[in-house]
């Protein structure tokens, strides 16, 4: 359902330590962008791709996933749409999202920095799959494995 770059933590660091380290933004963005280029390839150059991330719930400013997605958009030369969806509650499991702005592009990369249960990406899938868009889900760390 989603493609992860790493299983568990990076370099044995906790998720809190990773998020607190500004250098990790570029590290995640560069590594994930390279993976996306390997998978999607020349199709990225056609100008019909965009990237978004899951809604902000707790960290509304300096949001780690947003910062990574912004940098990935620069590296991939595709638009980044911030706040595509809003979360109706702060809960993670079975979160309900509402659409704020649907990207114009037909192909959307949805990025989340960490996946534990998969519920966040599942909620994004349920929201965005109602529209005529091709969706690809990527995550930096799969904390589920």
Question: What pLDDT band is residue 107 in, cutting at 50, 70 and 90?
Answer: very high
- 98 token code pair: 């509402």
Which positions ≥6 away from 23 have C-beta within 8 Å? none
pLDDT recorded at residue 145: 54
For 50-99, how does the pLDDT look when each residue is reduced to its tens digit (9 = 90+)? 999 988 665 555 788 999 999 999 999 999 999 999 887 766 667 778 99
Residue 131: pLDDT band (50, 70, 90) is very high
The residue written with tokens 């702005």 in the block is 101
Q: Where are the alpha helices (DSSP H) in the chain?
A: 15-20, 23-40, 64-76, 119-128
| Structure token digits, residue 127 | 């929201």
Pairing of strands 134-142, 49-53: unpaired
């Amino acid at each position: 359902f989603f493609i992860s770059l790493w299983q568990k933590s990076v370099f044995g660091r906790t998720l809190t330590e990773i998020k607190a380290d500004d250098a990790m933004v570029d590290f995640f963005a560069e590594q994930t962008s390279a993976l996306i280029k390997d998978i999607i390839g020349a199709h990225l150059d056609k100008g019909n791709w965009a990237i978004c991330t899951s809604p902000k719930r707790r960290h509304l400013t300096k949001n780690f996933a947003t910062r990574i997605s912004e940098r990935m958009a620069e590296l991939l030369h595709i638009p980044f749409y911030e706040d595509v969806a809003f979360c109706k509650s702060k809960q993670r499991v079975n979160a309900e999202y509402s659409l704020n702005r649907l990207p114009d592009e037909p192909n959307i990369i949805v990025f989340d920095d960490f996946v534990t249960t998969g519920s966040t990406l599942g909620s994004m899938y349920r929201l965005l799959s109602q529209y005529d868009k091709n969706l690809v889900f990527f995550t930096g760390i799969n904390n589920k494995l």
